[in-house]
Amino acid sequence: MKKRIIALCFYVLFWVGFFIAARLFFILIQYHDAFKNSAGELFSTFIHGLALDISTAGYYLLLPVLFAIPGLFFKGNWYRLSLRWYTYLLIVFSSVIVVADANLYSYWGFRMDYTPMIYLRTPGEAMASVSTLKAILFFFTILLYSSLYIFVYRKFIDRKFNNLGVVRNLLPVSAFFLLLFGSLIIPIRGGFGVAPINAGSVYFSKKMFLNHTAINAVWNVGTSAITQKPVKNPYNFGDQSTARVLVDSLTVKKGIPQKVINREKPNVLLIVLESFSGFLVGPDGGDSLVTPNLNRYAREGILFSNFYASGTRTDKAMPAILNGYPAQPAQSIIKEPKKTQSLESLIKIFNAQGYKSAFWYGGEINFANFNSFVIGSGFDQIVTQDNFNPGDFNSKWGVHDHIMFKTFRDSMTVVREPFFNVVLTLSSHEPFDVPMEPVFIGSDNMTRYKNSVYYADKALGGFLDWARTTGWWKNTLVIMVADHCCRISTEIPAGSKDIFKIPMVWTGGALNTSGLRIEKRGGQVDIANTLMNQVGFEGNFPFGKDLLSSRSKSFAFYTYNEGFGFITDSSSVEYDHKVKKVIVAEGKDPASAEANGKAYLQVLFDDYLKR
């Protein structure tokens, strides 16, 4: 048994070494970009990328560990020979990816994923634009690279599996290897954390090249193959040019915005509230007891009373809020770094105007590729649960909101203006465990949810009341918006518009008005254009409108996994793409709402595929 474990340990080291060398190969091929960075920065890519290297090695170890069990019962050299040819196949497969990725990065600007494999279905067309010399050089490099590692394996690793000996206690040893097989899930998913490992987990720098270098290309190809995205638009409802005209008519940029800001370059504090539903906010027509602080600030500031979430999760909300990019039904662009880095960014625009930016979140930043998204957005400072005392991790998701707001408040005593700070709360996320005596009595989900929102609102109110006493408050616009609603009851259909209605409130000393109620229908994708027109900055957010413009259309669009919803002042529809029909139609002209919603989704997904 001991010889088998030692042999497998050497097998793991072989693959980790292979991937470390692959990263070095990538750096050498991309020397023109790589050597613009310091040796320390390049070394950091190996440290941060090690998690993906180990994860990939874990995948490669699954079959060797599994087949080690029958290897205990049957004599002969079949296990060693099988493992040898299995490894040779993996070496060739991995070498193709390593060599192709290193050479193609200059053209693509992102690490290789499954997408290029699609073109291999038609190899003639795939190679048509490649010269014969380049093709020969490419295949020669793969041959050389593969041969080198086959030699290394044969010379140093293969012999470790020779003469493994006879195992006497078959059942206990078999149980051990079965347990070892199951435990491989730990390195594969990157540890015991809530969030499984993803490409964004290894992002660590503001320099995108360094983040890309830390990615393991083999891991990237494999995981993207498992979660393949469509390559054709599944929402092709009609002529693309006609759809484009309809969308342009919805997002027309003409009109004079109502000026509500009294400063040319106000500070911006954007607070994204986890799972704050519209039905819990009093001024929004909801429960008057759950969010007393948000209610108070809504009455004093500007309430957008017909406001909707773009999607159903935080990972779909953040691109909508910070990039003006709508959520897709079954996909989430935040999970694809090569796509998110192509989006226009509010943060980068404000940074270019001299603002200092920061992102604050008390939770796990690696969840759903959040790390790559936040870094790619251009924040000067990123604060996550890693910056808090582990003793304060009293929530499944990280530190609770009162701790996060207290630490954030301390940092804001020495803040440099102008600033654009984003705070994402988390305590009102399921399972709704908060450090507070219940205000609403009951053990059902709805009551627990209301208590968690009440707690989050209390932490929010305490921070805002303190902020009003500071010197920077008079120069600051505070935007409070929910990331999404919370569907507590399964009796409510997943695509119901009631699930997507959320609060958005503007407050702060930079407002020149109070007690204003904006009835125009809109959503998270409209925040960027509305804010940009207030401060006079230029940006390109084609899917949104200005909610304060006199000529912008009153509509909201949202998506859920099966379809979309489209709402106007007179009509609304809920379209289920799986059954290919409208399942809810209300108002005077639902046919028009359906046509607009289909056009919007078709143009959106066409844009998504091209990024």
How crowded is residue 12: how many other Cβ atoms within 10 Å of its Cβ? 16
In 3D space, the residue among 278, 297, 295, 291 whose CA is nearest the CA of residue 440 turns out to be 291
Q: Check if the beta carbon of residue 598 is closer than 8 Å to that of residue 575.
A: yes
How much is the average pLDDT of 570-578? 93
Residue 125 has pLDDT above 50, yes or no: no
Burial of residue 412 (number of CB atoms within 10 Å: 0-12, 13-18, 19+): buried
Q: Encoding tokens for residue 98?
A: 């390593």
In the chain, where the domains are located: 2-226, 248-544+551-610
How many Å separate Cα 214 from the centre of its chain? 18
Peptide bond into 319 cis (omega under 30): no
Between CA 202 and CA 47 the distance in angstroms is 9
Between CA 419 and CA 269 the distance in angstroms is 8
Q: Encoding tokens for residue 597?
A: 């919603």
pLDDT of residue 575: 95
Burial of residue 550 (number of CB atoms within 10 Å: 0-12, 13-18, 19+): exposed
pLDDT of residue 130: 56
Q: With bands split at pLDDT 50, 70 and 90, how would you rate the model's confidence at 561?
A: confident
Is the entire prediction scored with pTM above 0.85? no
Q: With bands split at pLDDT 50, 70 and 90, how would you rate the model's confidence at 139?
A: very high
Tell me which H or E stretch contains 583: strand 581-587
pLDDT of residue 128: 46
pLDDT of residue 365: 86
Higher-pLDDT residue of 417, 109: 417
What φ, ψ does residue 518 adopt, rounded to 5°? -100, 115
Q: Check if the beta carbon of residue 559 is closer than 8 Å to that of residue 328.
A: yes
Q: Could you give the C-alpha distances from 81 to 78, 154, 158, 264, in angstroms and in order?
A: 5, 11, 9, 73
Q: Report pLDDT digits (tens) over 443-464.
A: 998 999 999 999 999 999 999 9
pLDDT of residue 381: 97
Residues forming a β-bridge with 573:
566, 585
Between CA 426 and CA 456 the distance in angstroms is 8
Residue 377 has pLDDT above 50, yes or no: yes
Between CA 154 and CA 302 the distance in angstroms is 71
Q: Report pLDDT digits (tens) over 353-376.
A: 999 999 999 998 887 778 999 999
Q: Which amino acid is at 128?
A: A
Q: Encoding tokens for residue 86?
A: 């299995």
pLDDT of residue 117: 63
Q: Which amino acid is at 281?
A: V
Q: With bands split at pLDDT 50, 70 and 90, how would you rate the model's confidence at 169?
A: confident
Give the whole-number percent of the chain exceeding pLDDT 90: 75
In 3D space, the residue among 381, 260, 253, 369 whose CA is nearest the CA of residue 316 turns out to be 369
Q: Report pLDDT digits (tens) over 502-551.
A: 999 999 999 999 999 999 999 999 999 999 999 999 999 999 999 999 89
Question: What is the DSSP track for 195-237?
Answer: SPP-GGGG---SSHHHHHHHS-HHHHHHHHHHTPPPSS-TT--
Q: Report pLDDT digits (tens) over 230-252.
A: 778 999 999 999 999 999 999 98
Between CA 249 and CA 325 the distance in angstroms is 17
Question: How many CA within 13 A on the CB side of residue 348?
Answer: 15
Average pLDDT taken over every residue of the chain: 92
How much is the average pLDDT of 141-152? 96
3-state secondary structure of 547: coil
Q: Could you give the C-alpha distances from 189 to 23, 102, 193, 361, 398, in angstroms and in order?
A: 21, 25, 9, 22, 19
Residues forming a β-bridge with 423:
271, 360
Q: Which amino acid is at 486?
A: C
pLDDT of residue 200: 82
Q: Report pLDDT digits (tens) over 186-206.
A: 999 998 877 788 888 899 998
Residue 122 has pLDDT above 50, yes or no: no
Q: Check if the beta carbon of residue 173 is closer than 8 Å to that of residue 54.
A: no
Q: Check if the beta carbon of residue 321 is closer than 8 Å to that of residue 481.
A: yes
Q: Report pLDDT digits (tens) over 345-354.
A: 999 999 999 9
Q: Check if the beta carbon of residue 182 is closer than 8 Å to that of residue 127.
A: no
Q: Could you give the C-alpha distances from 255 to 263, 543, 545, in angstroms and in order?
A: 21, 17, 11
How much is the average pLDDT of 111-129? 59
pLDDT of residue 123: 56
Please, what sign has the CA dihedral across residues 50, 101, 342, 378?
Answer: positive
Q: What is the Cα Rg of the chain in Å?
A: 27
Give the whole-number percent of the chain exceeding pLDDT 70: 96
Q: Which CATH superfamily is domain 248-544+551-610 in?
A: Alkaline Phosphatase, subunit A (3.40.720.10)
Tell me which H or E stretch contains 532: helix 527-535
Q: Check if the beta carbon of residue 404 is closer than 8 Å to that of residue 425.
A: yes
